[in-house]
Amino acid sequence: MRKSNQSIPSYLNDFLDWLEIQKGLSSKSQENYARFLKKFLDWLEKNELANIKPYELSPDHIWKYRVFLSRQCVASNSGQPLKKSTQNYYLIALRSLLNYFADKDILSLPAEKIQLARDKGDKQVRFLVLEQLEKLFKVPNVSKIEGLRDRAILETLFSTGMRISELTALNRNQIKIKPNSKEELELSIIGKGGRVRTVYFSERTLFWLNKYLETRKDNEKALFINYRSKKNAPRRLSNRSIEKSMKKYVIMSGLPLNTTPHVMRHSFSTDLLAKGVDLRTIQEFLGHKSILATQIYTHITSKQLKEIHRKYHSDIK
């Protein structure tokens, strides 16, 4: 590692180039990162730190910036303090800048020193509503093979309620799509604890899977493969690779930063529950050994149930 005499703000353009070339981010993603990072650069200037070098950045600086985001910084559209999820967008951009310094062998604070803001609701089940899901589905660039693969992955996660490890274990020969068929696909998988269950691929999901599979000219066994793996390395997509891709799409779509592949499983479950499906059936869909594991979803529709009770039962004397 080397000490650089350049100021942190002077690295902005090279950092954005790094996001494009090294991380493969689109111009839109680069714009988002630039916007989030500008908040930090403006804060440096306001606090007479515009000439600070990467190696001079300290945990104390980070702490003061976090206090600024939490207490002084306000959302331009509402005039209210920034939400925890929004604060995290700015912190993630700063983390990426520190990762850039590390990649360039420039001495600086490790990215791990920046902790994300915690929300009191973090322990609650997180899920996306249909409008948010559609927003997420439309982010991957389906004109490129990686984007088409990722669209198929997102659709599959929501359609089946699979765990990410179950999805990455899928093989191509398990997906048999009949030409012009409008039927769902039923597939038996071995889930957590060795329990066998049936998952269902919707017609829409099969459409995207078929478009993705039509691009596959290789002989790889795995259903979802990595297009950037080293020569002779296994190409089956890993859990980590999917998590990283999804994190990128979440940032691009403006969804809560705590949206993970497992949130898709929660979204699958809560969508069924909200539509009246009973817990025992959802338990079968998810492959839970005990109904107690499935009951974590019951609180989500409590508000909806309250509205139903008020509408249909409040007139009883």
Active-site positions read: 163, 192, 262, 265, 288, 297
CA neighbor of 166 nearest in space, from 244, 242, 256: 242
Classify 162 as helix, strand or coil: coil
Distance CA 245, CA 149 (A): 11
Let me know: does 110 contact 59? Beta carbons within 8 Å. Answer: no
What's the one-letter identity of residue 39?
Answer: K
Distance CA 180, CA 207 (A): 10
CA neighbor of 258 nearest in space, from 43, 86, 80: 86
What's the one-letter identity of residue 146?
Answer: E
DSSP string, 10-51: GGHHHHHHHHHHTT---HHHHHHHHHHHHHHHHHHHHTT-TT
Let me know: does 157 contact 133? Beta carbons within 8 Å. Answer: no
| DSSP state at residue 238 | P
Let me know: does 279 contact 291? Beta carbons within 8 Å. Answer: yes
φ/ψ (deg, to 5) at 187: -140, 130
Distance CA 292, CA 196 (A): 19
Distance CA 48, CA 244 (A): 35
Let me know: does 222 contact 171? Beta carbons within 8 Å. Answer: yes
Let me know: does 108 contact 98? Beta carbons within 8 Å. Answer: yes
Neighbours of 35 (CB within 10 A): 12
